[in-house]
Structure 1
Amino acid sequence: MTSLGGAEMVDWKLAVATATRLVRPGPEVSRDEARAIVAELRRHAKASEGHVRAFTRMAPPVKDGDAFAGDTPVLVVDRAGWIKANVEGFRAILGPLLEKMQDRRNGTSTAVLGAVGGKVTGVELGMLLSFLASRVLGQYETFAPGTGDIPGAGGGRLLLVAPNIVHVERELEVDPHDFRLWVCLHEETHRTQFTAVPWLRAHIEGEIQSFLGETEVDPATLLERLREAAQSLAGGRPEGEDGGAPSIVDLVQTPAQREILARLTAVMSLLEGHADYVMDGVGPQVVPSVTEIREKFQQRRARGAGRLDAALRKLLGLDAKLRQYRDGERFVRAVVDEVGMDGFNRVWTSPNTLPTKAEIAKPADWVARVHRKSEK
């Protein structure tokens, strides 16, 4: 991996070790229970494929009679497994930025930056991952690095975090079998989005690389900004006058990055909102207690888990993610109500038909641009 003065800029092994040491243990289950939960999640993930594709009218491209793009793997993992998978993803997506920083190392104290900075950043990354690892129910890992051992590698993989799913279903006191299927419907929608729309992964990766490419800070400054973020996490920096610290993304933004981030925000709002819409649309047909689950889950989202949790969510930008669920779902619902599911699916035609951030807030503007323009 990219290094300075012979030392890695990010100590990835230390990041994994830190996160796995700090992450809270999952709920207690017996070995037999654990096996049954894993098997059920795999069955639900498989069943969700058909439900989601029928509802969305989306399916992977077919080659030689087989939907070859739809066999990206489904992995049921524990919290440590989620951490390791995401460190792999970070290494893949941050590689170009670290290489750029390597090229700009002249004039930097490589001895200090390489030996100390890599370990500090590794600890910081580990702290962030330990926080997230106990909260993520599932994730379509879009940028999973390609390896010969993982089918479909390089095209993504679906992770279901079993301990977190069990924790939430117990906390909400809902039917566990219904809840597990409900979660799988959401995550399978994400897998369908990327397998049925071949250009989507490359488009998002290109936007992310453009965002990273606009980072014009020297390595020492970037590490210092990340250190400030870690200090906020640890409570070492007081809240600002506005009542909170900026998110980590805010710490390194330039004007050009804000434009890119606006486009990424619109895309992520679309993807998250679409998954919520599909989950609720399919739910009544296959999840008997979906109304109760949805109501309790929404209440959980809204109230958070206390002051510290709220501060961490703000720092990590997770408040924005919650808005993406709400805004994106309203966009999808409004468009489907106006032009139907097939009309909505024009959104997947090309990057040019993706909604802008403004159109997410005003779905009628997207309909006017994409539909009425094409009808002239």
Structure 2
Amino acid sequence: MTSIGGAEMVDWNLAVATAIRLVRPGPDVTREEARAVVAELRRHAKASEEHVRDFTRMIPDGHEPEDTPVLVVDRPGWVRANVAGFRELLKPLLDKMQERRAGTAGGAVLGAVGGKVTGVELGMLLSFLASRVLGQYETFAPPTRELPGAPGSGGRLLLVAPNIVHVERELDVAPHDFRLWVSLHEETHRTQFTAVPWLRDHLEGEIQSFLAETDVDPMTVLERLREAAQTLAGGRPEGEEDEGRSLVEIVQSPEQREILGRLTAVMSLLEGHADFVMDGVGPQVVPSVAEIREKFQQRRARGASRLDLALRKLLGLDAKLRQYRDGERFVRAVAEEVGMEGFNRVWTSPNTLPTKAEITKPADWIARVHRRTDS
């Protein structure tokens, strides 16, 4: 940022620096152990490709999926990758907010200060999340030399090695099995986006439509970030943890609520499908899958602490847990009724994606999609 007048709404570099400074250190491992974990995760990611392809039948024989890199990262690496994705995805909204701010008295000075404040607070939130995410398929961030992506789409699979080691130790499960189990889940996400060419553009279009409808005062967004950061720092008064609203609850317009409903349905489908595949493949290749699933579900449900529960609500993570549960039930019910090939009709076009209501009533999706396509 070379001038006050050109200050961004978020100081992204400061967000990265803050998150990396505050993020908890990973589990205690030797250099040799760390190398072995990284090598094993890469092997599991590669092996998972064939397991997921055979189970889902989403990629026909003779068709190679898009070549997307697998990056085994530490917590700072996860922070850098996600900041790049946020920056790309939120650019239209932040540009809109910056235009509004430019027309206010003292807007330039407010922007210089606000950008740094928001950068620090975003960094605090990222430092919290960076120690919890096991992996993700990153869809929107542009590729860089440090964080390469697939040609064209920029997609890349991230596996966060220290977090995987931390959780496998916490759950007291077999490391080899747990690492493969996690890899199966994340590889399913990669398969979803590489086997369904229109999915990335559809999701991005929905998100950009949602952001285009946003008409909030910049200070409202800053206040939501401040609430989350104060909760994280323990600065909110006793008893107020449950009063905070999720960041996505800034939604005001009927149009946004409609778009958010569609996005919720798609994310429920993607997460539930990954859980379904992970457990479907598991018994053949992960001997202790039943033990891992039981312990992991208990961990998901209880959270690590009261602070976790407060932040879950504020950041909307409770909704994500429901997405796993509802989405998995939808996929399982459809697959049991019409088989895997019948379920895979969900990937035909945006029109065959389930609605938010259909996620909880899979029979309605079956009736709509199969009646129409079979007639």
Q: Distance in 2 between matches of 1:3 and 1:208?
A: 31
- Paired residue for 2:25? 25
Does 1:76 pair with 2:72?
yes
Q: CA RMSD in A?
A: 2.1
Q: 1:176 is matched by which residue type in structure 2?
A: P
Distance 1:246 1:222, change over 3 A: closer
- Paired residue for 1:337? 336
Superposition pairs for residues 80-119 of structure 1, below 5 Å?
A: 80-104=76-100, 105-119=102-116
Q: Distance in 2 between matches of 1:51 and 1:152?
A: 21
Structure 2, unaligned runs of 5 or more: none
- Paired residue for 1:297? 296
- Paired residue for 1:6? 6
* Identity percentage of aligned residues: 81
Q: How many residues align?
A: 372
- Is residue 4–residue 110 contact of structure 1 (8 Å, CA) maintained in 2? no
Q: 2:11 is matched by which residue type in structure 1?
A: D
Q: 1:137 is matched by which residue type in structure 2?
A: L
Q: Distance in 2 between matches of 1:360 and 1:239?
A: 37
- Is residue 141–residue 157 contact of structure 1 (8 Å, CA) maintained in 2? yes
**Which TM-score applies when normalising by structure 2?**
0.94
Compute the displacement of 1:108 (Å): 4.5
Q: Distance in 1 between matches of 2:8 and 2:206?
A: 26
- Per-residue CA deviation, residues 14-52 of structure 1 (Å, 9 max, x unaligned), is 101111111111101000110011000000000000000
Does 1:247 pair with 2:236?
no
- Is residue 5–residue 109 contact of structure 2 (8 Å, CA) maintained in 1? no
Q: Distance in 2 between matches of 1:25 and 1:216?
A: 39
- Is residue 108–residue 220 contact of structure 1 (8 Å, CA) maintained in 2? no
- Paired residue for 1:215? 214
- Is residue 222–residue 252 contact of structure 1 (8 Å, CA) maintained in 2? no
Q: Distance in 2 between matches of 1:148 and 1:132?
A: 24
Does 1:152 pair with 2:179?
no
Q: 2:20 is matched by which residue type in structure 1?
A: T
Compute the displacement of 1:302 (Å): 1.4
Q: Which 10-residue stretch deviates more, 248-257 or 228-237?
A: 228-237
Does 1:136 pair with 2:133?
yes
Q: 2:97 is matched by which residue type in structure 1?
A: M
Q: Distance in 2 between matches of 1:213 and 1:260?
A: 11
**Which TM-score applies when normalising by structure 1?**
0.94
Distance 1:252 1:359, change over 3 A: closer
- Per-residue CA deviation, residues 68-100 of structure 1 (Å, 9 max, x unaligned), is x42111000000100010000011101111222
Distance 1:302 1:19, change over 3 A: same
Q: Distance in 2 between matches of 1:349 and 1:361?
A: 20
Distance 1:232 1:151, change over 3 A: closer
Does 1:34 pair with 2:34?
yes
Distance 1:221 1:294, change over 3 A: closer
